[in-house]
Structure 1
Amino acid sequence: MPRGIRGTQQKSVTQDLEWWFHGPPCHRHHLVPWLTGSSPSPSTKALVPSHVIGFGSIVVAEGYDEENLVWWVHAWTFNTGGVISQVKEYVNTSVSVTRLGTTVAPPSEIVEPVASMCQCIWQSTLCDESVPGLILAI
């Protein structure tokens, strides 16, 4: 990333960025150095997403890194100021985004316990079936 952009990028990330990683350890240190501008190489190739979708304060991006032959999914959480506070990085992992909640019956209906609701709202499409799968609950 060019030096001028790095300063701007650093302002878009909280000082105490929470980062989760799932995938082969050899691909572990790509995204966070890029986000924070601490990458040793300013010419590190940026990952270009094939799909991007938002769910409230969470944005999910998916792509394929042809140079390293890996599928990737990133889930970015933004705080109320629009700054990235959490990044979940998945490499060679199938990800399903699931909304958790409860269904509430109208007051006129008598329902025993409140039923839980678990709805898959997005699933990665670029990886094949030979990779592990995870559920990202929101």
Structure 2
Amino acid sequence: MGRKPLGVRETERIDLLAASKLEKGGATAEGDEIGIDPAAETPEQRNKFLVLRLYEALNARDHAAVQSLLAPDLEWWFHGPPKHQQHMMRLLTTTTTTTTGSFRFVPRSVDALAASSGTVIAEGHERGCYWVHAWTVGPDGVITQLREYFNTDLTVTRLAAAVAAKCVWQSRRPDSATNSLPGLLLAL
């Protein structure tokens, strides 16, 4: 089966790892999911690809793969309207068994911040809801924390005693000119 271009409808299954590679003009080979030499990967790339694998497993409802990518004591924070709180939690705890009518998390962008923080930020939208996920990848290569923001603009800032605060990531909602949302600052 051939790969679909990135412009497919969000309701269709997208192989995020291959899409990331194809977006950069590359091709994927059998057995070579992303076409990158693992020895040449930076820690930021490893963290980003780990999160992309998690979204792929979540959308495929591959519960074994999801559990292998998460720490057993995953810390989860949620900010947003309570009615959306259940979407990711059901997927992470494998209580969703059907894909009919299920909420899908297909990121529009995924950015890995400095390896020292282990933070990977993903954002997207589904059914009129804008979401941002701030994942923390631990030193052992599993995801240890999720900070989930629904219908909230997010700015990520690095704070350090020796230097001034620096914005390292900011929401890029496609509807930001017409749709105002509350804003939050996430300090690392």
Identify whether the pair has TM-score above 0.5, normalized to the shorter chain. yes
Secondary structure in 2 matching 1:26: helix
Q: Which runs of 5+ in 1 are unaligned?
A: 104-115
> Over aligned residues, Cα RMSD in angstroms?
1.7
Following TM superposition, by how much is the alpha carbon of 1:130 offset from its aligned partner in structure 2, in angstroms? Answer: 1.8
Structure whose CA Rg is larger = 1
2:129 maps to which of 67, 70, 76 = 70
**CA contact 1:9–1:36 (8 Å) conserved in 2:** no
Secondary structure in 2 matching 1:32: helix
CA distance in structure 1 between the aligned counterparts of 2:95 and 2:70, rounded to whole angstroms: 13
Alignment of 1:58-97 (within 5 A): 58-65=119-126, 67=127, 69-97=128-156
Structure 1 residues 97 and 131, CA, compared in 2 at 3 Å: closer, same or farther? same
Alignment of 1:1-138 (within 5 A): 1-2=59-60, 5-39=62-96, 41-43=97-99, 44-55=102-113, 56=115, 57-65=118-126, 67=127, 69-103=128-162, 116-126=163-173, 128=176, 130-138=180-188
Q: Deviations over 1:11-48 (max 9, x none)?
A: 11111111000000100011122123222x33134311
**CA contact 1:13–1:36 (8 Å) conserved in 2:** no
**CA contact 1:100–1:117 (8 Å) conserved in 2:** yes
CA distance in structure 2 between the aligned counterparts of 1:36 and 1:133, rounded to whole angstroms: 28
Give the ranges of 4+ consecutive aligned residues of structure 1 lying more than 3 Å apart after TM superposition.
Answer: none
CA distance in structure 2 between the aligned counterparts of 1:131 and 1:60, rounded to whole angstroms: 18
Bigger share in strand: 1
Following TM superposition, by how much is the alpha carbon of 1:91 offset from its aligned partner in structure 2, in angstroms? Answer: 0.2
Q: Which runs of 5+ in 2 are unaligned?
A: 1-58
CA distance in structure 2 between the aligned counterparts of 1:13 and 1:80, rounded to whole angstroms: 13
Q: How many residues align?
A: 122
CA distance in structure 2 between the aligned counterparts of 1:63 and 1:120, rounded to whole angstroms: 20
Aligned residue for 1:107?
none
CA distance in structure 1 between the aligned counterparts of 2:167 and 2:60, rounded to whole angstroms: 38
> TM-score, with normalisation over the residues of structure 2?
0.60
Identity across the alignment (%): 42
Q: Deviations over 1:70-105 (max 9, x none)?
A: 1000000011111111000000000001011133xx
Aligned residue for 2:24?
none
